[in-house]
Chains A and B, each alone.
Chain A
Amino acid sequence: MSANTYDAIVIGSGISGGWAAKELTQKGLKTIMLERGRNIEHIKDYVNATKDPWEFPHRGGRTQKMIDDYPVLKRDYPLNETNLDYWASDKDSPYTEIKRFDWFRGYHVGGRSLMWGRQSYRWADVDFEANLKDGIAVDWPIRYKDIAPWYSYAEQFAGISGNKDGLPILPDGDFMPPMEMNVVEKDVSKRLKEFYKEARHMIIGRTANITVPHNNRTNCQYRNKCWLGCPFGAYFSTQSATLPAAMATGNLTVRPWSIVTKILYDKDTKKAKGVEVLDAETNKTYEYFAKIVFVNASTINSAWILMNSATDVWEGGLGSSSGELGHNLMDHHLNVSAYGRIEGYEDKYYFGRRANGFYIPRYRNLNGEKRDYIRGFGYQGSASREGWSRDIAELNIGGAFKDALTEPGSWHIGMGAFGETLPYHENKVTIDKTKKDKWGLPVVAIDAELKANELKMRIDMEKDGKEMLEAIGAKDVQTSSTNPFLGRGIHEMGTARMGRDPKTSVLNEWNQVWDAKNVFVTDGSCMTSAACQNPSLTYMALTARAANHAVEILKKGEI
């Protein structure tokens, strides 16, 4: 057995890659996890996590230099002074936008598990059945009952705080104690339920922040600085959770600076035998070999790797025989929000910075309702008291103004919608051979857009937001609907979808590539539809499920 031979290779170290590494190593497989970027060591490398706000030279803002250096990241909130090092360089790793697609990436150990939003929701049968019922794309090869035990498994290990709300659209899970709504949110939740006669609900967000100590991790300290990395390990990340568990087995090797350029496919066995790696520091090429390969490079990059592999057998790459590899790119469509003022509660405030908000689960196109679009959307938001930025009438400068700045302003409530995007064959990624990245590798071209169904849905997303806020008594309600583009949800999905038929899907029900059964793809690319819930918990569950299956059939000698 050569030094470069392992039982399993995991490509990528984000949420799903970390889970793959944990599961495979705990089942006894010698595993190497390949990460294209640098290492970030838990706690030690969270260099800004314990800085006070005034220690940042621009108080967390963005400089013109940052704006020049990050032409994509600058399009939204991720470009900021406090965790700039966690975002991939747009200049080192460019891509082609045939249509605008805001691609926000994390190229380092832990990937976007370090910066993710942590909202964690189960899908329901209505989501898994949707494609079949609507006659859209292909049917999911699994149903809720197939994944439910794996949701529990993932929740128990990751630590998801939440309330058992008993809503069929959003199945309850194995939760830690929920975080608390503040006084205004509690009242608003009651009013919403009454107004819509229990057809709409506002619940506390279910989040991967632990509320009680768990596996040597300290419970959430209400700092709301999660995306700097948590020195308490209070939110789920590769570093806080899956990596230490995998390392504890003694079976894991982590290799940073390892860009996987292709999967090595063996025509005779019809299986992958390993991967080719370009060392991002030395530009040297290496080969690693294993019995199974887990592809967790994130939706778009996983497709890129597959498209670069086995091109001598299939022109479009490994998994392309169905014609679906790289296609059906989805995201959640965002940038529709509503905002209003809540009167009263001047004697009420909150203390601590809760890294969570409320959630309004999907209510459209359910129970027989039929809108002029299919599927639905949910909202995430919070109520809070305004800070200094408010306009204090007649007290715009001077001593009294200065004093007034120390007082909280009136209560406001704001929320943004997350809409489901359908899988369209023509929304796709391809390889652009005319453009190269820093390492001389051809880049991806992204060609995807929102279509009629999403655009009609956005009208409801805006209208409903206003209606609900007015219904619960908010004043001066304003709405905003901007930038109808994909990517901003940072929930890329679908480029190597699961299905029941090798002719129309890239992966089978166990996330195995139909054309190479020892290759498993368990990141967002495996998703057959997008639902409107935040998807990471589903990746965790699918990854654990696939890893379990992989080891079972490996032991049986089937792969």
Chain B
Amino acid sequence: MDRRTVIKNLALIIGGAALLPACSQDKAKSKVALKNIDITADQEQLIGNVAETIIPKTTTPGAKDLQLHLFVLKMVDDCYKKEDQQAFVTGMGHFADQSQKLYSKTFDQLDTKTREVFLLDIEKEGKAEEEAARKNSDKKDAAPATPPAGKYSPELKKFYSIVKRQTINGYTNSKYFMTKEVVYELVPGRYNAHFPYKQKQAV
């Protein structure tokens, strides 16, 4: 089977999957060769959509255009510990379930706005927990904190934080970003210690 056929079949399978119930056992594999984790084409699409929500296509390329979701998978497969890989896969399941529970739709079916609301809510909960843990560690005699039961499981938050971190890593180190968005030169040839800079926008 040549590459074109594979991609076409994959598109059919992915397209078809959307019509099936969420529990469908889709065996189509991810496009990227993975040694340690098992990722289906459905799951790859889910990661693609999460990455695309973080770095969307605007007037410039987005996560999918730059194949950042495949970079995320490559990093998870090669660079993360077994337990993190397991948490990633488990968390991805929880993520899909939570989308159904909260919005009665798969993440892929959500509109962009709702996807953003979903992801930001996960970030908010993660940050609140970090803050609580930090405050707790400041108190000397405090009893060990019992994390409040949030909406999102630790694995789900782990999954999301890995996708986000590696999506941004992949984006800011992509050829596109480094040649078109910021000026990276392999050989700068000089050091300008007083480089004037005008903010493109309020940050």
- To the question of whether A and B form a pair in one complex, the answer is yes
Query: Is the CB–CB distance between B192 and A54 below 8 Å?
Result: no
Return chain B residues, CB-CB under 8 Å to A61: 75, 79
Report the minimum CB–CB distance from B199 to chain A (whole Å): 6
The contact string, 1 if C-beta is below 8 Å from chain A, for chain B 124-165, is 000000000000000000000000000000000000000010
Q: Are B187 and A399 in contact (CB under 8 A)?
A: no
Is the pair B173, A59 in contact by a Cβ cutoff of 8 Å? yes
Chain A 403-434: CB-based contact to B (< 8 A → 1; otherwise 0): 11111110000000000000000000000000
Chain B interface residue bracket vs A: 35 or more
Are B203 and A407 interface neighbours, CB within 8 A? yes
Is the CB–CB distance between A405 and B168 below 8 Å? yes
Any B CB within 8 A of the CB of A392: yes
Interface 9-residue window, one of B17-25, B50-58, B89-97, B102-110 = B50-58
- If A52-B186, A223-B186, A406-B181 touch, whether A350 touches B54 (CB-CB below 8 Å) is no
A46 contacts partner chain B, Cβ-Cβ < 8 Å: no
Asked if A366 lies at the interface with its beta carbon under 8 angstroms from chain B, I say: no
Please classify how large the interface on chain A is, using the bins under 10, 10 to 19, 20 to 34, 35 or more: 35 or more
CB atoms of A397 and B119 under 8 A apart: yes
Choose one: B81, B189, B191, B197; the contact of A408 (CB below 8 Å). B197
Contacts A58-B78, A402-B56; A347 near B197 (Cβ below 8 A): yes
Provide the residues of chain B in CB contact with A63, threshold 8 Å: 78-79
- B101 close to A (CB within 8 Å): no
Q: Are A222 and B190 in contact (CB under 8 A)?
A: yes
Considering the complex, give the chain A residue whose CB is closest to the CB of B124. Answer: A396
Known contacts A350-B192, A392-B203; decide if A406 and B182 are in contact (CB<8 Å): yes
**Contact between A181 and B58, CB atoms less than 8 A apart:** no
Are B191 and A352 in contact (CB-based, < 8 A)? yes
Task: Fill in one digit per residue for B17-43: 1 if any A CB lies within 8 Å of its CB, else 0.
Answer: 000000000000000000000000000
Residues of A within 8 A of B190 (CB): 222, 351-352
Contacting pair A350 B193 (CB below 8 A): yes
Q: Mark A18-54, 1 if CB is under 8 A from B, else 0.
A: 0000000000000000000000000000000010111
In contact, B178 and A53 (Cβ under 8 angstroms)? yes
Residue in B closest to A179 when the chains form the complex, CB atoms = B191
Which B residues are CB-close (under 8 A) to A179? 191
Query: Which residues of B line the A interface, CB within 8 A?
Result: 53-56, 58, 60, 62, 74-75, 78-81, 116, 119-120, 123, 164, 168-175, 177-178, 181-182, 184, 186-201, 203
* Known interface pairs A50-B186, A222-B191, A396-B123; 20 further A-B residue pairs with C-beta atoms within 8 A, sorted by A's residue number: A54-B174, A58-B75, A59-B170, A59-B173, A63-B79, A179-B191, A182-B194, A223-B187, A348-B196, A350-B194, A350-B195, A351-B190, A351-B192, A352-B188, A353-B188, A389-B168, A397-B123, A399-B58, A402-B62, A404-B201
Give me the 9 closest cross-chain CB pairs, A-B, nearest first: A352-B191, A349-B197, A352-B188, A351-B192, A180-B193, A349-B195, A63-B78, A388-B172, A351-B195
List 10 A–B pairs whose Cβ atoms lie within 8 Å, in order of A's numbering.
Answer: A53-B173, A61-B75, A63-B78, A64-B80, A179-B191, A222-B188, A346-B197, A351-B190, A352-B189, A396-B123
